[in-house]
Amino acid sequence: LPVLDPESADFASIDVTIDGADEVDSELNAIKGGGGAHLREKLVANASRKLVLIADSRKNSETLGTKWDKGIPVEVSPLAWRTIKRQLERMAPLSRAQGSVKADLAAAFSFSHPKAELRQAVRKAGPVVTDNGNFILDVSVGSIHDPLAVEQLIKMVPGVIEVGIFSGMAKEAWFGNEDGSIVCREPQSAQN
């Protein structure tokens, strides 16, 4: 398959994207970016008519943040990563993005105090640098009860480039089981 140039006309008309995920919930919201490429992956997924996620059964969960314990990958500007880290650690579970109207004010995530860590490189000194020249903060918030709210809250922080939560983007997910069988799922709400 050819690599798509974001400047080409082909990039705007992708039929299907098949991509891995670090964790997928019952609505097919996903955490991606364990490999540090979630900005580019989200650009491709957004340009696609259909996103299909693939993963092994260990990444299949009811609620995000229950199986993937390394935090939400957040690509940030290297210029202000310390300030961004402090702001992310001040997020409150009942916070909502401006303009977001929710009838219930249930907590968007379970931790009362999120923890953000600068991702360090392996086999080289210093932080991981993305293909785009940015740093990654891994933000632990516990169980994620409202993925879209958490994604929006994080994106509101100046200097955040992209968030590794893919809310409402996937149309189906395929999970490989230890016995070799495969399970295909659609969002739980689509089955009702």
Residues identified as active-site: 41
Q: Which residues of 86-98 are buried (b: 16+ CB within 10 A; e: fewer)?
A: ebbeebebebeee
CA proximity to 38, closest of 51, 27, 49 = 51
Q: Are 100 and 39 in contact (CB under 8 A)?
A: no
Please count the residues of the chain. Answer: 192
CA distances from 174 to 58, 69, 183 (A): 12, 21, 6
**Where does 10-167 have alpha helices with state H?**
38-46, 81-89, 147-155
Q: If DSSP codes are grouped into helix, strand and coil, which group holds residue 114?
A: coil
